[in-house]
Amino acid sequence: MRRDDFPILQEKNRNKPVVYFDSASSAQKPRQVVEAMRDFYYRGYANIHRGIYELSERSSQLYENSRERVKQFIHAADIDEIVFVRSTTEGINLVAQAYGRTHWQAGDEVIVSEMEHHSNIVPWYLLKEQIGIELKVIPVAEDGTLDMATYQTLFSPRTKLVTVTHASNVLGTINPIQEITAIAHAHHVPVLVDGAQAVPHLPVDVQALDVDFYLFSGHKLYGPSGVGVLYGKKKYLAAMPPYHGGGGMIETVSFSQITFAKTPHKFEAGTPDIAGVIGLHAAMDYVDSIGMEAIFAHSQTLLAYAQPQLAAIPGLRILGTAPAKVGVISFTIDGIHPHDLGTVLDHEGIAVRAGHHCAQPLMERFGVPATVRVSFGIYNSKEEIDKLVAAIHLAKRLFT
């Protein structure tokens, strides 16, 4: 699918045609995104929000157009609900500090799942250290789905937030966000969803999901690194003080009194990644030109092709066999360390991840120190999966 848009796929890895199976870590970039950023740097560059000259007006307009595009892309109700941040990680930290630290006290509770990426664990752990909140954990069942029965028992009068990933970067599991949100809202508890792994794979409608906060990163959506999105319902963003202080987020400043700009600008202190925001716009246009439904269908075709072939390899164990998955497959093989397998694959030109994937609690849950993870992007093909399967057989001959 659209391989020609990705110049990097013409490159070699260890002198073999590159087979890129690490899109869950970061996706490759199509020409359309790189050219939009290059055009901006060559023909339209100026800082935003400050200039009274035409170039700066145009740059500001492009920046704000991208905000409008994000609103459409995730079906937000209002453009003021879209905050540009550096990444999913920064967005979660922003909510933890500006919302959690402002409104919570020692003994308040946050419900988090066992399958979270470290970036949806550590910011809450920091709050535990800073103000004494407690973390309650939704367990993961053997097939990689969330234990929804236990989830419902974790609420107490002290519960302040439910924070879960939309899709797991290790197991691939797509979580039932609508159901999770409905249950939390019945307890009057807001929900934050880490969409880093879902946004590149599925159409997302934050209003239909009824989430209160939603995060994603540009670089996993075939866009640039250094830009991400925090979506927050207006009533929550309005109840949050600024996270960073600096230029661009104030109305007036004196040494005795500062008044802040309104959301979303209140949260965007300093010169942002302007070209990144423009590149993100191009990335959203790019994926929509293919269609998020078609992108989802492509990953499902690759999953359905790869999973049975991998599962048939003796000693290979797939972690995460939920019925609803994004294009991510984690596995271990008896007798071969994931890093050794990763090295053999690398020598065949195949780029995969081997390690704990920033999800150590989940590794512990499954009793493994690490896995190999294969993740699919829009450019991957069945022929590449055939190469993967052949390379795994080669590794088995070498190591067992």
Ligand X SMILES: *Cc1c(COP(=O)(O)O)cnc(C)c1O
- Residues known to be catalytic: 358
**Pick from 197, 263, 330, 375: which binds ligand X (CB under 6 A)?**
197
Question: Distance between CA atoms of 9 and 15, rounded to whole angstroms?
Answer: 13
**Which of the stretches 2-10, 72-80, 113-121, 250-258 binds ligand X when contact is defined by CB under 6 A?**
113-121
> Residue 100 or 349: which CB sits closer to ligand X?
100
Query: Using the rule CB under 6 A, is 165 a contact of ligand X?
Result: yes
Contact positions with ligand X (CB under 6 A) in 47-106: 87-89
251 CB neighbour count, 10 Å cutoff: 11
| Dihedrals phi, psi of 234, to nearest 5 degrees | -50, -45
**Which of the stretches 117-125, 171-179, 309-317, 345-353 binds ligand X when contact is defined by CB under 6 A?**
117-125
Residues 6+ apart with CB under 8 A from 106: 131, 132, 133
Query: Using the rule CB under 6 A, is 117 a contact of ligand X?
Result: yes
Query: How far apart are CB 194 and ligand X at their closest, in Å?
Result: 5
Sign of CA dihedral 261, 266, 270, 274: negative
> Residue 66 or 87: which CB sits closer to ligand X?
87
**Pick from 164, 196, 274, 284: which binds ligand X (CB under 6 A)?**
196
Interhelix angle 382-399/338-347, rounded to 10 degrees, is 120
Question: Distance between CA atoms of 291 and 48, rounded to whole angstroms?
Answer: 31
> Residue 22 or 109: which CB sits closer to ligand X?
22
**Which of the stretches 35-43, 189-197, 248-256, 289-297 binds ligand X when contact is defined by CB under 6 A?**
189-197
Site string for ligand X, 202-231 (x = CB under 6 A): ---------------x--------------
Query: How far apart are CB 395 and ligand X at their closest, in Å?
Result: 26
> Residue 198 or 336: which CB sits closer to ligand X?
198
> Residue 184 or 227: which CB sits closer to ligand X?
227
Residue 291 DSSP label: -
Question: Distance between CA atoms of 211 and 185, rounded to whole angstroms?
Answer: 9
Q: How many residues bind ligand X (CB under 6 A)?
A: 13
Query: Using the rule CB under 6 A, is 174 a contact of ligand X?
Result: no
* Dihedral, 320, 211, 270, 38 alpha carbons, nearest 10: 60
Query: How far apart are CB 310 and ligand X at their closest, in Å?
Result: 21
Question: Distance between CA atoms of 84 and 277, rounded to whole angstroms?
Answer: 8
| Dihedrals phi, psi of 59, to nearest 5 degrees | -60, -45
**Which of the stretches 95-103, 115-123, 136-144, 331-339 binds ligand X when contact is defined by CB under 6 A?**
115-123
Residues 6+ apart with CB under 8 A from 62: 40, 44, 274, 277, 278, 281
Query: How far apart are CB 250 and ligand X at their closest, in Å?
Result: 27
**Pick from 113, 159, 169, 173: which binds ligand X (CB under 6 A)?**
169
Interhelix angle 274-290/292-311, rounded to 10 degrees, is 80
Query: How far apart are CB 298 and ligand X at their closest, in Å?
Result: 19
Contact positions with ligand X (CB under 6 A) in 16-35: 24
Instruction: Tell me the HSE value of 55 on the side-chain side, using a 13 A CA sphere.
Output: 8
Strand locations in 50-154, DSSP E? 82-85, 109-113, 134-138
Q: Which residues contact ligand X (rule: CB under 6 A)?
A: 24, 87-89, 117, 119-120, 165, 169, 194, 196-197, 217
